Structure 1
Amino acid sequence: MTITDRPQPTHTGPIALTRGFLTGCVSGVTLASLVAAPIIESVPLVIVGVGLPVVYSVLLFIGGIPRRAREAAAPRTTALAKIESLRALGSDSGDMPVRFVVTVAPDGPPFRAEITLNVNLVDLPTYKPGNILVVDYPTDRPWHARILTEPTPEWERRAANAVLESAPESALVKEPPKGGAFGTVVFIGVLIGAVAVLVLFRADLFGTTTAVAEPSAADPAPTTVTSTSSTTITSANGTVTLGSNQSFRDRGTLKDAVAALTRDRDGAQVISVIIQDRVMSVVFAPSGSPAPGFDLRELPTDRIRPLVDEATVALGVTSPSWEVIMENMTGSLTIRVVVTGRNGSASLEANRSGNVVRRNPLR
C-alpha cells in the first residue's frame, strides 16, 4: 500500500464550501471597501474594510475550536523514519526551522512525508541524511507527521538498531487539494462582496450630485460630496463646486447646478450669482426682505456658454480667465461677463434674455 495511490479526498463538503464562499465574500467586501473609501472619503467604509476581516477571523477561530479538539483527540501512530534530505528555512542564529523529507516506516508500506522542526544550531549536526528518527502522525492525516525529539526508551532502542529502505519519491503524502469547486465558490464570493459595495455606494462612486435641504439657522452647513462635484447650502447662500475635469461651460452643467441649489427650497429668489469655471455661488434673498432679487430658476442658462465664448474670443484679452456676475440691483437682471488675462481685463453685459447690450473691449 502506498498512501498517495489512494484516491485523495478534496475539501468539497457543504461546510467547507460554505466557509470558502463566506471567505470570498469577506475578501471582496474588504478589497472593494479599501479601494472605494479614499475615492469617496468615507471613514465608515475604511472601518468596514479593516474591521470586517478581523471580526471574521475571530469567528473562524471560535468556530474551529470543536474541529481542532477532535483532531487533537484523534489517535496517532508512532513509527520509525529515515531522513532523506533536510533544508534550513531560517537564519543562522539560535533555533531555526528545518524542513525534513523523511521515509516513514509504519507496520504497513512506507511513505514519504515533509516535516518542519525548529532545530538549535548546536544540535543540527546530529541530523544527517540516513539517520533514523522516531515520528508520530494522526492515523487519518499522515501529512501532519512530527518528529519526536524525546521518544520513549523502547523507541530509542529500535531507532538505534533499525535499517530502513527509502520509499520512492512518488510516495510523498500531502494534504488533499481543495478541489475546483472550492476555488469556484471562493471566486464567486469575492465577486458578490465587491459588487455589493459598488452597488451600495454607486451614487458616491459614480458622481451623482445631490442637493441638500435648507438647514435651520442653528444647524451647521451640510455638505454633500461626490467624486465629481459638491453642493453646499445654508439659509443665506449656496455653492456648487465641480470636479477637476468639469467646467460650467460644459453643456447642461449649469442647469444641473441650478436644479441642485433650488431643490427642496420654498423659494428660489436670489440677490446675486457668481459663476467661474468650476465654482458657482449664489446669495439667497432673505424671506420678506425688500432687497431686489430674481428667480434663480429663470436664468437663461443656455445663453451663458455663448456669452462666455464670445467674451473670451472677441474682447482682445490674452489667455483669459472668466467670471459671470448676475444681479438685479437696478431693477432689471444684468448679466456681466468679465475676462482677465496677461494684458488686462474686458467685459460684456447682457440682459435677462441673454442678449448682449454692451461690450467693453480691452483698451
Structure 2
Amino acid sequence: MTMTAGVVLPARNTLFTLARGALGGGVIGASLTALVVGAVIRSVPLFVTGLGVPAVYALLVLLAGVPRRAREAAIAPRTALATVESVEAVRDEATSDVPVRFVSTVAPDDAPAYRVAFTQHVHLADLPDYRAGDVVVVQYPPDRPWRVRLVKRPTPEWEERAAGARIDPAPGPVLAGEEPEGSAVGFVRLLALLLAAAGVLLLFRTDLFDEDTSAGSPSPTRPSVSASTSSSTTVVSSASGTVTLAPHQSFLDQGELRKAITALTRGTDVRMGTAVVVQDRMLSVVYAHTGSQTATFDLDSLPYDRFPALVKEAQSSLGTGSPQTWELTVECLTGSLTIRVGVTAVEGTAWLEADGDAKVVRRTPAR
C-alpha cells in the first residue's frame, strides 16, 4: 500500500485567540492584585473577590466548552494504518509510562496520506513494539487529523491489515497539531494583566497610601473632606476635623496622635485651634475662626508624645482599679493651656490636670 499526499489544517481564529488571551491576562492580573491589596488593607470582600474571580472564570470557560466537547464526543474517531518514521523518548520519568514522540505517516483508507508528529505515553515494556519502519494502527478525530493516538490493542482485522501492509513516508512537512500561540497573544495577555493590575491599584490607591480625597474646589481655609481607609476615617470641614481609628488601633500608640493631627492640617494654613478632644479611637479638633476673640493655641506645639503617659498615669494612680474609658481635653479658655485627662471606671470618674508642658498640677480621685 503506497499513498502520498498532504493535508491542510484548519485556520486558527486569530481574533478569538487574542480576545481569549486578553481576558485570561486581565483575570490573572486583577485577581492577584486584589488578593495582595485585600491583604494589605485588610479588606475581606476584596480578598474574597480575588479568590472568587478566577474560580468563576474557570467555571465559565468550562461551561462554554461543554457544547464543543459534546460535539467532539459524538463524532466517532477514524481508524487507519500508519508507519513509524522515528521514535524518541521525550524525557525520563520515575513512572513505568514515559512520554514518547512519534513521527509517522498516516494512511487513511479514504483520504491522502500525511505526516504527523505526536506524543503519547507508552509503557516501558511496550517500547520494543514501536520501532522505525513498523506499521501500526492509529485513531484520530476526522476534523482534527493531527490528534493521532496509537491503538495499543487493535481488533484482529486491523492487526492482520497492519501485518501485511507497507506504507511509504509521505512527502511534505510534518504536522504537529495546532500552531502554538504566537508572540502577539503573549503580548496582549501581558498588557491585559498589567492594565488590570493597575486598575485595581488605582481604585484602591486611597486605602493603600492613606491619601485624603477632597470634594469640590479647594478653598483658602479648609475644604470639607471625608476619607475612609482601612486604618482610619477622617472628616474635615472649615470649623473642625475628626479622625476615627480602626478597632485594632488606639491614639495611645506611639506617634498615632501626632500623625492624625498632621493629616488634618496637611495642605492648609490652619495651625491654630481652640480645643482638642482625644478618646481611645477618636480625635476631634476645633479650629480657630478668622477674627474670633476666643483664646487659641498652636496645634503643632502640643506635647503629643506626653499624652499617652498622662493617660496611663491617670489610669494607674487615680484609684480606678479597672479603667474602662478615658478622655483627654486640651483648651485654653482661662488664658493658659490646660490638659485634662478623665478616666471612667466602675468606681466613678477620676481627673488629672496638667499644664502646657504636660506637667501634672492637680489630681482628683474617683468618687
Same fold? TM cut 0.5: yes
1:210–1:173: structure 2 CA closer, same or farther, 3 Å change rule?
closer
Alignment deviations for residues 60-99 of structure 1 (CA, whole Å, 9 cap, x no partner): 1111010111222345432222231131546344444433
Partner of 1:218: none
What is the one-letter code of the residue matched to 1:129?
A
Given the alignment, which residue of 92, 99, 115 partners 2:119?
A: 115
Q: Give the conservation status (yes or no) of the 8 Å contact 1:12–1:179.
A: no
1:257–1:103: structure 2 CA closer, same or farther, 3 Å change rule?
same
Distance 2:71 2:191 in 1: 31
2:264 is the counterpart of 1:239? no
Note the 1:137-216 alignment, pairs <5 A: 137-167=140-170, 170-178=173-181, 182-183=185-186, 185-208=188-211
Alignment deviations for residues 299-355 of structure 1 (CA, whole Å, 9 cap, x no partner): 413x53xx98xxxxxxxxxxxxx835584589334389xxxxxxxxxxxx869xxxx
Distance 2:61 2:278 in 1: 61
Q: CA deviation at 1:53?
A: 1.0
2:26 is the counterpart of 1:28? no
Q: CA deviation at 1:43?
A: 2.4
Q: Secondary structure at the match of 1:123?
A: helix
Partner of 1:51: 52
**Structure 1: 5+ residue stretches without partners:** 212-222, 260-266, 274-279, 285-293, 309-321, 337-348, 352-363
Distance 1:189 1:272 in 2: 47
Q: CA RMSD in A?
A: 4.5
What is the one-letter code of the residue matched to 2:244?
T
1:268–1:195: structure 2 CA closer, same or farther, 3 Å change rule?
farther
Alignment deviations for residues 184-229 of structure 1 (CA, whole Å, 9 cap, x no partner): 5534532442233123212112322589xxxxxxxxxxx94359x9
Distance 1:63 1:165 in 2: 42
Partner of 1:359: none
1:163–1:238: structure 2 CA closer, same or farther, 3 Å change rule?
closer
Distance 1:183 1:255 in 2: 47
1:195–1:66: structure 2 CA closer, same or farther, 3 Å change rule?
same
Given the alignment, which residue of 319, 323, 328 partners 2:305?
A: 323
Q: Give the conservation status (yes or no) of the 8 Å contact 2:117–2:175.
A: yes
Structure 1 range deviating more: 196-205 or 83-92: 83-92
Distance 1:282 1:67 in 2: 60
2:61 is the counterpart of 1:60? yes
Q: CA deviation at 1:177?
A: 4.0
Note the 1:75-90 alignment, pairs <5 A: 76-83=77-84, 84-87=86-89, 89=91
Distance 1:324 1:232 in 2: 21
1:324–1:210: structure 2 CA closer, same or farther, 3 Å change rule?
farther
Q: CA deviation at 1:30?
A: 1.3
Partner of 1:315: none
Deviation beyond 6 Å, 4+ runs, structure 1: 240-243, 280-284
Q: CA deviation at 1:144?
A: 1.0
Q: Secondary structure at the match of 1:9?
A: coil
Distance 1:30 1:281 in 2: 33
Distance 1:268 1:139 in 2: 86
What is the one-letter code of the residue matched to 1:11?
N
Partner of 2:100: 98
1:271–1:46: structure 2 CA closer, same or farther, 3 Å change rule?
closer
Given the alignment, which residue of 327, 332, 345 partners 2:335?
A: 332
- State the aligned residue count: 279
Q: CA deviation at 1:156?
A: 0.9
Partner of 1:73: 74
Q: Give the conservation status (yes or no) of the 8 Å contact 2:30–2:196.
A: yes
Alignment deviations for residues 235-261 of structure 1 (CA, whole Å, 9 cap, x no partner): xx9739799xx9959xxx7442468xx
What is the one-letter code of the residue matched to 2:105?
T
**Structure 2: 5+ residue stretches without partners:** 215-227, 235-242, 267-272, 289-295, 308-328, 340-354, 358-367
TM-score if structure 1 supplies the norm length?
Answer: 0.60
Distance 2:281 2:74 in 1: 73
Partner of 2:263: 256
Q: CA deviation at 1:17?
A: 4.5
Q: Secondary structure at the match of 2:60?
A: helix
Q: Give the conservation status (yes or no) of the 8 Å contact 2:43–2:230.
A: no
Distance 2:180 2:106 in 1: 22
1:183–1:8: structure 2 CA closer, same or farther, 3 Å change rule?
farther
Structure 1 range deviating more: 89-98 or 324-333: 324-333
Q: Secondary structure at the match of 1:170?
A: coil
Distance 1:71 1:143 in 2: 14
Distance 2:257 2:278 in 1: 20
Q: Give the conservation status (yes or no) of the 8 Å contact 1:102–1:113.
A: yes
Distance 2:33 2:12 in 1: 30
The percent of aligned pairs where both chains have the same amino acid is 36
Q: Secondary structure at the match of 1:71?
A: helix
Alignment deviations for residues 18-51 of structure 1 (CA, whole Å, 9 cap, x no partner): 4333323211211211332232222222222222
Q: Give the conservation status (yes or no) of the 8 Å contact 1:32–1:194.
A: yes
Partner of 1:300: 298
Distance 1:148 1:323 in 2: 81
Q: Give the conservation status (yes or no) of the 8 Å contact 1:90–1:98.
A: no
